[in-house]
Amino acid sequence: MDRIWGSFRDPSGVVFKHDNKIFRSVSELGKERYLSIKNILERSIEYNFLIDTKEINNDDLKKKFNASLLLEHKKIPYISFPYEWNFEQLRDAALHHLNFQIFLLENGFELIDASAFNIQFIGAKPFFIDALSISKYEDGNPWIAHNQFCEQFLNPLIFASVNKINYNNYYKGSFDGIKNAEIVNILSFFHKIKPTIFFNILLPNFFDKLTSQKKFSENSNNKKNSKKKFFSKSSYFWIIKSLKKFITNIKNPSLKSFWGRYSEEKTYSNINYEIKKKIVRDFVIRKKLNKIADIGCNNGDFSELCIVSGSNYVVGFDYDHNCLEKSLFRAKDKKLNFLPLYLDATNPSANIGWFQKEREGFLERADFDGLIALAFEHHLAIAKNIPLQDIIDWFLKIAPTGLIEFVPKNDSTIQVMLSLKGDIFPEYTEQNFREILSKCARIINVSEIGDSGRKIYEYEKFR
Protein backbone atom coordinates (compact mmCIF):
# COMPACT_ATOMS: atom_id res chain seq x y z
CA MET A 1 0.00 0.00 0.00
CA ASP A 2 1.59 3.26 -1.18
CA ARG A 3 0.21 6.63 -0.23
CA ILE A 4 0.04 9.14 -3.07
CA TRP A 5 1.72 12.13 -1.46
CA GLY A 6 0.10 14.73 -3.68
CA SER A 7 -3.28 14.02 -2.05
CA PHE A 8 -2.32 14.77 1.55
CA ARG A 9 -3.70 18.34 1.51
CA ASP A 10 -7.32 17.14 1.34
CA PRO A 11 -8.53 16.04 4.81
CA SER A 12 -11.61 14.49 3.18
CA GLY A 13 -9.83 11.73 1.33
CA VAL A 14 -6.29 10.45 0.83
CA VAL A 15 -5.28 8.53 -2.31
CA PHE A 16 -3.38 5.23 -2.21
CA LYS A 17 -2.01 2.75 -4.72
CA HIS A 18 -2.68 -0.88 -3.88
CA ASP A 19 -2.38 -3.96 -6.12
CA ASN A 20 -1.72 -1.64 -9.06
CA LYS A 21 -5.08 0.07 -8.48
CA ILE A 22 -5.90 3.58 -7.26
CA PHE A 23 -8.09 4.00 -4.18
CA ARG A 24 -9.33 7.03 -2.28
CA SER A 25 -9.83 6.58 1.45
CA VAL A 26 -12.74 8.89 2.34
CA SER A 27 -12.78 10.15 5.92
CA GLU A 28 -15.89 10.68 8.03
CA LEU A 29 -15.54 14.37 7.12
CA GLY A 30 -15.59 13.57 3.40
CA LYS A 31 -18.28 10.89 3.53
CA GLU A 32 -21.10 13.40 4.00
CA ARG A 33 -19.89 15.42 1.00
CA TYR A 34 -19.54 12.31 -1.14
CA LEU A 35 -23.10 11.19 -0.39
CA SER A 36 -24.39 14.67 -1.28
CA ILE A 37 -22.62 14.66 -4.67
CA LYS A 38 -22.92 10.98 -5.59
CA ASN A 39 -25.49 11.51 -8.35
CA ILE A 40 -23.62 14.36 -10.01
CA LEU A 41 -20.43 12.27 -9.92
CA GLU A 42 -22.14 9.60 -12.00
CA ARG A 43 -23.32 12.20 -14.53
CA SER A 44 -19.86 13.83 -14.61
CA ILE A 45 -18.33 10.46 -15.50
CA GLU A 46 -21.01 9.87 -18.13
CA TYR A 47 -20.19 13.22 -19.81
CA ASN A 48 -16.40 12.51 -19.71
CA PHE A 49 -15.59 15.33 -17.30
CA LEU A 50 -14.52 13.13 -14.39
CA ILE A 51 -12.28 10.06 -14.36
CA ASP A 52 -14.20 6.82 -13.86
CA THR A 53 -14.87 6.50 -10.11
CA LYS A 54 -16.81 3.87 -8.20
CA GLU A 55 -17.61 3.05 -4.58
CA ILE A 56 -16.00 -0.14 -3.25
CA ASN A 57 -17.75 -2.25 -0.62
CA ASN A 58 -14.82 -4.10 0.85
CA ASP A 59 -14.58 -4.13 4.63
CA ASP A 60 -11.02 -5.49 4.63
CA LEU A 61 -9.77 -2.66 2.41
CA LYS A 62 -11.73 -0.08 4.40
CA LYS A 63 -10.04 -1.30 7.55
CA LYS A 64 -6.66 -1.36 5.82
CA PHE A 65 -7.12 2.23 4.63
CA ASN A 66 -8.89 3.37 7.82
CA ALA A 67 -11.71 4.60 5.57
CA SER A 68 -15.31 5.47 6.33
CA LEU A 69 -15.94 4.98 2.64
CA LEU A 70 -13.72 3.71 -0.17
CA LEU A 71 -13.57 4.81 -3.80
CA GLU A 72 -11.66 3.31 -6.69
CA HIS A 73 -10.48 5.55 -9.55
CA LYS A 74 -9.51 4.45 -13.02
CA LYS A 75 -5.73 4.41 -13.12
CA ILE A 76 -4.10 7.09 -15.26
CA PRO A 77 -1.48 5.42 -17.51
CA TYR A 78 1.07 8.16 -16.84
CA ILE A 79 0.77 11.05 -14.38
CA SER A 80 1.91 14.37 -15.87
CA PHE A 81 2.15 17.87 -14.44
CA PRO A 82 1.24 21.30 -15.88
CA TYR A 83 4.89 22.29 -16.27
CA GLU A 84 5.30 19.29 -18.59
CA TRP A 85 2.43 20.28 -20.89
CA ASN A 86 2.74 22.33 -24.03
CA PHE A 87 0.66 25.47 -24.59
CA GLU A 88 -2.20 23.61 -26.27
CA GLN A 89 -2.40 21.04 -23.48
CA LEU A 90 -2.58 23.73 -20.81
CA ARG A 91 -5.26 25.48 -22.86
CA ASP A 92 -7.19 22.19 -23.19
CA ALA A 93 -6.89 21.57 -19.44
CA ALA A 94 -8.10 25.11 -18.64
CA LEU A 95 -11.10 24.79 -20.96
CA HIS A 96 -11.91 21.37 -19.52
CA HIS A 97 -11.95 22.86 -16.03
CA LEU A 98 -14.19 25.74 -17.12
CA ASN A 99 -16.58 23.50 -19.07
CA PHE A 100 -16.82 21.20 -16.07
CA GLN A 101 -17.53 24.15 -13.80
CA ILE A 102 -20.31 25.35 -16.14
CA PHE A 103 -21.81 21.84 -16.22
CA LEU A 104 -21.76 21.63 -12.44
CA LEU A 105 -23.26 25.09 -11.91
CA GLU A 106 -26.08 24.30 -14.29
CA ASN A 107 -26.86 21.32 -12.07
CA GLY A 108 -26.50 23.05 -8.70
CA PHE A 109 -22.91 22.14 -7.89
CA GLU A 110 -19.45 23.72 -8.16
CA LEU A 111 -15.72 23.02 -7.94
CA ILE A 112 -14.21 24.23 -4.69
CA ASP A 113 -10.66 24.47 -6.00
CA ALA A 114 -8.96 25.07 -9.35
CA SER A 115 -5.70 23.19 -9.09
CA ALA A 116 -4.25 22.37 -12.50
CA PHE A 117 -2.89 19.18 -10.94
CA ASN A 118 -6.48 17.92 -10.71
CA ILE A 119 -6.44 17.54 -14.50
CA GLN A 120 -4.74 14.53 -16.05
CA PHE A 121 -4.48 13.40 -19.67
CA ILE A 122 -5.21 9.99 -21.14
CA GLY A 123 -3.71 10.40 -24.57
CA ALA A 124 -4.87 13.84 -25.72
CA LYS A 125 -8.05 13.81 -23.62
CA PRO A 126 -8.13 15.71 -20.29
CA PHE A 127 -10.01 14.35 -17.27
CA PHE A 128 -10.73 15.79 -13.84
CA ILE A 129 -9.46 13.37 -11.16
CA ASP A 130 -10.45 14.79 -7.74
CA ALA A 131 -14.05 13.76 -7.07
CA LEU A 132 -14.08 15.40 -3.62
CA SER A 133 -13.35 18.83 -5.11
CA ILE A 134 -17.04 18.95 -6.05
CA SER A 135 -19.55 20.49 -3.65
CA LYS A 136 -23.14 21.71 -3.67
CA TYR A 137 -23.55 25.29 -4.87
CA GLU A 138 -25.26 27.74 -2.52
CA ASP A 139 -26.82 30.97 -3.77
CA GLY A 140 -24.47 33.87 -3.29
CA ASN A 141 -21.32 31.77 -3.27
CA PRO A 142 -18.37 33.54 -4.90
CA TRP A 143 -15.95 31.58 -7.06
CA ILE A 144 -13.53 30.93 -4.21
CA ALA A 145 -10.99 29.29 -6.54
CA HIS A 146 -10.88 32.22 -8.97
CA ASN A 147 -7.36 33.35 -8.05
CA GLN A 148 -6.08 29.78 -8.12
CA PHE A 149 -7.48 29.30 -11.63
CA CYS A 150 -5.77 32.50 -12.80
CA GLU A 151 -2.42 31.56 -11.25
CA GLN A 152 -2.35 27.96 -12.48
CA PHE A 153 -4.08 28.26 -15.86
CA LEU A 154 -4.69 31.79 -17.12
CA ASN A 155 -1.47 33.52 -16.11
CA PRO A 156 0.94 30.92 -17.56
CA LEU A 157 -0.96 31.07 -20.87
CA ILE A 158 -0.79 34.88 -20.89
CA PHE A 159 2.88 34.76 -19.91
CA ALA A 160 3.72 32.54 -22.88
CA SER A 161 1.49 34.35 -25.35
CA VAL A 162 2.71 37.86 -24.49
CA ASN A 163 6.42 37.08 -24.11
CA LYS A 164 6.72 34.30 -26.69
CA ILE A 165 8.59 32.40 -23.95
CA ASN A 166 7.46 28.96 -22.84
CA TYR A 167 6.23 28.92 -19.26
CA ASN A 168 7.45 25.41 -18.36
CA ASN A 169 10.61 26.20 -16.41
CA TYR A 170 8.94 29.11 -14.62
CA TYR A 171 6.00 26.92 -13.64
CA LYS A 172 8.35 24.15 -12.53
CA GLY A 173 10.05 26.60 -10.17
CA SER A 174 6.75 27.47 -8.51
CA PHE A 175 4.14 24.79 -8.95
CA ASP A 176 1.42 27.12 -7.65
CA GLY A 177 1.72 28.86 -11.02
CA ILE A 178 2.33 32.54 -11.76
CA LYS A 179 0.84 35.04 -9.33
CA ASN A 180 -1.27 38.01 -10.43
CA ALA A 181 1.29 40.45 -9.01
CA GLU A 182 3.98 38.82 -11.17
CA ILE A 183 2.03 38.72 -14.42
CA VAL A 184 0.90 42.36 -14.05
CA ASN A 185 4.52 43.52 -14.20
CA ILE A 186 5.07 42.13 -17.69
CA LEU A 187 1.84 43.36 -19.30
CA SER A 188 1.68 46.42 -21.51
CA PHE A 189 -1.04 49.03 -21.13
CA PHE A 190 -2.73 47.55 -24.21
CA HIS A 191 -2.92 44.13 -22.55
CA LYS A 192 -4.05 45.53 -19.21
CA ILE A 193 -7.12 47.24 -20.66
CA LYS A 194 -8.44 44.03 -22.20
CA PRO A 195 -11.63 43.33 -20.19
CA THR A 196 -10.76 39.72 -19.24
CA ILE A 197 -7.29 40.67 -18.02
CA PHE A 198 -8.55 43.81 -16.28
CA PHE A 199 -11.36 42.10 -14.36
CA ASN A 200 -9.62 38.80 -13.60
CA ILE A 201 -6.06 39.93 -12.90
CA LEU A 202 -5.64 43.69 -12.46
CA LEU A 203 -8.61 44.35 -10.20
CA PRO A 204 -8.01 41.34 -7.91
CA ASN A 205 -4.33 42.28 -7.69
CA PHE A 206 -5.25 45.88 -6.85
CA PHE A 207 -7.65 44.83 -4.08
CA ASP A 208 -5.14 42.33 -2.71
CA LYS A 209 -2.62 45.15 -2.38
CA LEU A 210 -5.24 47.45 -0.86
CA THR A 211 -6.22 44.80 1.67
CA SER A 212 -2.58 44.20 2.56
CA GLN A 213 -1.88 47.91 3.00
CA LYS A 214 -4.90 48.47 5.25
CA LYS A 215 -4.16 45.25 7.17
CA PHE A 216 -7.79 44.20 7.32
CA SER A 217 -8.39 41.77 10.15
CA GLU A 218 -11.44 39.92 8.80
CA ASN A 219 -10.94 36.17 8.63
CA SER A 220 -11.65 34.26 5.42
CA ASN A 221 -15.12 33.17 6.56
CA ASN A 222 -16.21 36.76 7.18
CA LYS A 223 -14.90 37.76 3.76
CA LYS A 224 -16.81 34.92 2.13
CA ASN A 225 -20.04 35.80 3.91
CA SER A 226 -19.77 39.46 2.96
CA LYS A 227 -19.27 38.58 -0.70
CA LYS A 228 -22.29 36.26 -0.76
CA LYS A 229 -24.63 39.25 -0.66
CA PHE A 230 -23.18 40.70 -3.83
CA PHE A 231 -22.18 37.72 -5.99
CA SER A 232 -25.03 36.35 -8.11
CA LYS A 233 -25.06 33.09 -10.01
CA SER A 234 -25.31 35.05 -13.28
CA SER A 235 -22.06 36.85 -12.33
CA TYR A 236 -20.47 33.48 -11.62
CA PHE A 237 -21.44 32.27 -15.11
CA TRP A 238 -20.30 35.51 -16.73
CA ILE A 239 -16.79 35.27 -15.29
CA ILE A 240 -16.36 31.64 -16.30
CA LYS A 241 -17.75 32.08 -19.81
CA SER A 242 -15.69 35.22 -20.46
CA LEU A 243 -12.56 33.35 -19.37
CA LYS A 244 -13.52 30.46 -21.64
CA LYS A 245 -13.84 32.79 -24.63
CA PHE A 246 -10.55 34.55 -23.84
CA ILE A 247 -8.59 31.31 -23.38
CA THR A 248 -10.07 29.79 -26.54
CA ASN A 249 -8.82 32.76 -28.55
CA ILE A 250 -5.49 33.46 -26.83
CA LYS A 251 -2.64 33.38 -29.32
CA ASN A 252 -0.30 30.40 -29.26
CA PRO A 253 3.31 31.71 -29.21
CA SER A 254 4.95 28.62 -30.76
CA LEU A 255 7.59 29.43 -33.33
CA LYS A 256 8.73 27.32 -36.25
CA SER A 257 11.79 25.19 -35.65
CA PHE A 258 13.96 22.74 -37.52
CA TRP A 259 12.72 19.84 -35.41
CA GLY A 260 9.14 20.88 -36.09
CA ARG A 261 9.88 20.22 -39.77
CA TYR A 262 11.71 17.00 -38.93
CA SER A 263 9.44 14.71 -40.93
CA GLU A 264 10.07 16.75 -44.06
CA GLU A 265 13.77 17.44 -43.44
CA LYS A 266 15.28 14.16 -42.27
CA THR A 267 19.03 13.85 -42.09
CA TYR A 268 18.92 10.55 -43.96
CA SER A 269 17.14 9.11 -47.00
CA ASN A 270 13.58 7.88 -47.19
CA ILE A 271 14.93 4.36 -47.75
CA ASN A 272 16.89 4.50 -44.49
CA TYR A 273 13.87 5.98 -42.76
CA GLU A 274 11.76 3.00 -43.84
CA ILE A 275 14.48 0.65 -42.56
CA LYS A 276 14.36 2.42 -39.23
CA LYS A 277 10.58 2.09 -39.08
CA LYS A 278 10.81 -1.64 -39.77
CA ILE A 279 13.31 -2.09 -36.93
CA VAL A 280 10.96 -0.33 -34.51
CA ARG A 281 7.86 -2.14 -35.78
CA ASP A 282 9.48 -5.57 -35.47
CA PHE A 283 10.73 -4.77 -31.96
CA VAL A 284 7.31 -3.67 -30.67
CA ILE A 285 5.46 -6.60 -32.25
CA ARG A 286 7.96 -9.11 -30.90
CA LYS A 287 8.19 -7.69 -27.37
CA LYS A 288 4.44 -6.99 -26.92
CA LEU A 289 5.13 -3.95 -24.75
CA ASN A 290 2.28 -2.31 -22.86
CA LYS A 291 3.70 1.17 -22.20
CA ILE A 292 6.58 2.73 -24.11
CA ALA A 293 8.61 5.90 -23.56
CA ASP A 294 9.59 7.60 -26.83
CA ILE A 295 12.54 9.79 -25.83
CA GLY A 296 12.92 12.54 -28.43
CA CYS A 297 9.56 11.83 -30.04
CA ASN A 298 9.71 14.74 -32.53
CA ASN A 299 6.40 14.81 -34.43
CA GLY A 300 5.22 11.50 -33.06
CA ASP A 301 5.91 9.35 -36.16
CA PHE A 302 7.48 6.52 -34.19
CA SER A 303 5.12 6.90 -31.24
CA GLU A 304 2.21 6.28 -33.59
CA LEU A 305 4.10 3.38 -35.16
CA CYS A 306 4.50 1.79 -31.71
CA ILE A 307 0.76 2.04 -31.09
CA VAL A 308 -0.31 0.58 -34.43
CA SER A 309 2.27 -2.18 -33.89
CA GLY A 310 0.62 -3.28 -30.65
CA SER A 311 1.68 -1.06 -27.76
CA ASN A 312 -1.24 0.04 -25.57
CA TYR A 313 0.18 3.43 -24.59
CA VAL A 314 3.07 5.68 -25.57
CA VAL A 315 4.38 8.73 -23.75
CA GLY A 316 6.53 10.87 -26.03
CA PHE A 317 9.08 13.30 -24.62
CA ASP A 318 10.67 16.22 -26.42
CA TYR A 319 12.18 19.63 -25.77
CA ASP A 320 10.76 21.31 -28.87
CA HIS A 321 7.26 22.74 -28.37
CA ASN A 322 6.53 22.90 -32.08
CA CYS A 323 7.15 19.16 -32.29
CA LEU A 324 5.05 18.52 -29.21
CA GLU A 325 2.09 20.42 -30.60
CA LYS A 326 2.28 18.53 -33.88
CA SER A 327 2.38 15.33 -31.85
CA LEU A 328 -0.64 16.47 -29.85
CA PHE A 329 -2.65 17.25 -32.98
CA ARG A 330 -1.68 13.82 -34.33
CA ALA A 331 -2.93 12.18 -31.12
CA LYS A 332 -6.20 14.15 -31.28
CA ASP A 333 -6.89 13.64 -34.97
CA LYS A 334 -6.18 9.89 -34.87
CA LYS A 335 -7.48 9.31 -31.32
CA LEU A 336 -4.20 7.68 -30.30
CA ASN A 337 -3.23 6.51 -26.82
CA PHE A 338 -0.27 8.85 -27.14
CA LEU A 339 0.69 11.56 -24.66
CA PRO A 340 3.41 14.03 -25.77
CA LEU A 341 5.16 15.88 -22.95
CA TYR A 342 7.87 18.50 -22.54
CA LEU A 343 11.20 17.17 -21.26
CA ASP A 344 14.57 18.82 -20.92
CA ALA A 345 16.57 15.66 -20.29
CA THR A 346 19.40 17.58 -18.62
CA ASN A 347 16.96 19.41 -16.33
CA PRO A 348 13.92 17.14 -15.93
CA SER A 349 11.07 17.45 -13.47
CA ALA A 350 12.40 16.79 -9.97
CA ASN A 351 10.84 15.75 -6.66
CA ILE A 352 9.29 18.94 -5.33
CA GLY A 353 6.71 20.14 -2.82
CA TRP A 354 6.29 19.07 0.76
CA PHE A 355 8.96 16.59 1.87
CA GLN A 356 10.10 16.60 -1.76
CA LYS A 357 7.41 13.99 -2.39
CA GLU A 358 4.32 16.00 -3.30
CA ARG A 359 5.15 15.96 -7.02
CA GLU A 360 7.37 13.14 -8.19
CA GLY A 361 10.27 13.67 -10.56
CA PHE A 362 10.63 12.23 -14.05
CA LEU A 363 12.58 9.10 -13.09
CA GLU A 364 10.32 8.35 -10.11
CA ARG A 365 7.37 8.11 -12.52
CA ALA A 366 9.27 6.11 -15.14
CA ASP A 367 7.45 2.77 -14.97
CA PHE A 368 7.73 1.99 -18.68
CA ASP A 369 7.93 -1.51 -20.16
CA GLY A 370 10.08 -0.34 -23.06
CA LEU A 371 11.94 2.61 -24.50
CA ILE A 372 12.85 3.93 -27.91
CA ALA A 373 15.55 6.60 -28.07
CA LEU A 374 16.11 7.34 -31.74
CA ALA A 375 18.70 9.89 -32.82
CA PHE A 376 18.82 11.23 -29.27
CA GLU A 377 21.91 10.10 -27.37
CA HIS A 378 24.28 12.30 -29.41
CA HIS A 379 22.35 15.41 -28.34
CA LEU A 380 23.23 14.56 -24.75
CA ALA A 381 26.78 13.37 -25.40
CA ILE A 382 27.93 16.03 -27.88
CA ALA A 383 25.62 19.01 -27.31
CA LYS A 384 25.46 18.68 -23.51
CA ASN A 385 28.78 16.95 -22.70
CA ILE A 386 27.08 14.09 -20.83
CA PRO A 387 29.32 10.98 -20.50
CA LEU A 388 28.15 7.89 -22.37
CA GLN A 389 28.08 5.90 -19.12
CA ASP A 390 25.62 8.33 -17.58
CA ILE A 391 23.44 8.39 -20.70
CA ILE A 392 23.17 4.60 -20.79
CA ASP A 393 22.47 4.43 -17.04
CA TRP A 394 19.68 6.99 -17.54
CA PHE A 395 18.08 5.06 -20.41
CA LEU A 396 18.16 1.82 -18.44
CA LYS A 397 16.59 3.56 -15.46
CA ILE A 398 13.62 4.54 -17.64
CA ALA A 399 12.88 1.07 -19.05
CA PRO A 400 14.37 -2.45 -18.78
CA THR A 401 14.31 -3.03 -22.54
CA GLY A 402 14.45 -0.81 -25.57
CA LEU A 403 16.09 0.55 -28.69
CA ILE A 404 18.90 3.12 -28.64
CA GLU A 405 20.15 4.63 -31.88
CA PHE A 406 23.88 5.37 -31.95
CA VAL A 407 24.98 8.19 -34.25
CA PRO A 408 28.68 8.08 -35.26
CA LYS A 409 30.97 11.11 -35.30
CA ASN A 410 31.11 11.27 -39.08
CA ASP A 411 27.35 11.85 -39.25
CA SER A 412 26.47 15.24 -40.74
CA THR A 413 24.48 16.27 -37.65
CA ILE A 414 27.39 15.61 -35.30
CA GLN A 415 29.81 17.27 -37.70
CA VAL A 416 27.83 20.49 -37.38
CA MET A 417 27.99 20.21 -33.57
CA LEU A 418 31.73 19.54 -33.62
CA SER A 419 32.37 22.47 -35.94
CA LEU A 420 31.04 24.72 -33.18
CA LYS A 421 32.64 23.04 -30.16
CA GLY A 422 35.63 21.22 -31.56
CA ASP A 423 36.17 17.49 -31.15
CA ILE A 424 36.67 17.28 -27.40
CA PHE A 425 35.01 13.86 -27.16
CA PRO A 426 37.68 11.15 -27.59
CA GLU A 427 35.53 8.64 -25.68
CA TYR A 428 32.57 9.09 -28.02
CA THR A 429 32.99 6.00 -30.17
CA GLU A 430 30.69 3.14 -31.06
CA GLN A 431 33.10 0.66 -29.50
CA ASN A 432 33.00 2.51 -26.19
CA PHE A 433 29.20 2.82 -26.38
CA ARG A 434 28.89 -0.91 -26.98
CA GLU A 435 31.27 -1.86 -24.17
CA ILE A 436 29.46 0.32 -21.64
CA LEU A 437 26.03 -0.96 -22.70
CA SER A 438 27.15 -4.60 -22.59
CA LYS A 439 28.23 -4.21 -18.94
CA CYS A 440 24.74 -3.06 -17.95
CA ALA A 441 22.51 -5.00 -20.31
CA ARG A 442 22.38 -7.84 -22.79
CA ILE A 443 22.65 -6.61 -26.37
CA ILE A 444 19.95 -8.50 -28.29
CA ASN A 445 20.35 -7.02 -31.77
CA VAL A 446 22.43 -4.41 -33.55
CA SER A 447 20.74 -3.17 -36.72
CA GLU A 448 22.30 -0.92 -39.33
CA ILE A 449 20.13 1.86 -40.72
CA GLY A 450 20.98 1.35 -44.36
CA ASP A 451 24.00 3.32 -45.53
CA SER A 452 23.66 6.10 -42.94
CA GLY A 453 26.33 4.71 -40.61
CA ARG A 454 23.84 4.86 -37.76
CA LYS A 455 22.96 1.73 -35.78
CA ILE A 456 20.12 0.77 -33.46
CA TYR A 457 20.99 -1.29 -30.39
CA GLU A 458 18.31 -3.43 -28.79
CA TYR A 459 19.03 -4.11 -25.13
CA GLU A 460 17.63 -6.01 -22.16
CA LYS A 461 18.76 -4.81 -18.76
CA PHE A 462 20.42 -7.35 -16.47
CA ARG A 463 18.16 -8.20 -13.55
Domain boundaries, the chain: 1-75, 122-249, 259-461
Say how many residues make up the chain.
463
The H or E element spanning position 329 is: helix 321-334
pLDDT at 218: 47
Q: pTM of the entire structure? A: 0.92
Which residues partner with 443 through β-bridges? 459
Q: Give 10-residue mean pLDDT values along the chain (463 residues).
A: 77 87 91 94 97 92 88 96 97 98 97 96 97 93 94 96 91 90 91 91 76 48 48 93 96 67 59 95 97 97 97 97 95 98 96 90 96 96 96 98 97 91 93 98 97 96 92
Alpha carbon of residue 384 to chain centroid: 24
pLDDT at 1: 58
pLDDT at 12: 83
> Would you say 56 and 71 are in contact if contact means Cβ atoms under 8 Å apart?
yes
In this structure, how many other beta carbons lie within 10 angstroms of the beta carbon of residue 164?
A: 10
pLDDT at 231: 83
> Would you say 337 and 303 are in contact if contact means Cβ atoms under 8 Å apart?
no
SS (H, E, C) 11-60: CCEEEEEECCEEEEEECHHHHHHHHHHHHHHHHHHHCCCECCEEEECCHH
pLDDT at 254: 73
The H or E element spanning position 16 is: strand 13-18
Q: Which CATH number, 3.40.50.150, 3.40.50.740, 3.40.50.2000, 3.30.1490.20, labels domain 259-461?
A: 3.40.50.150
pLDDT at 226: 44
pLDDT at 203: 85
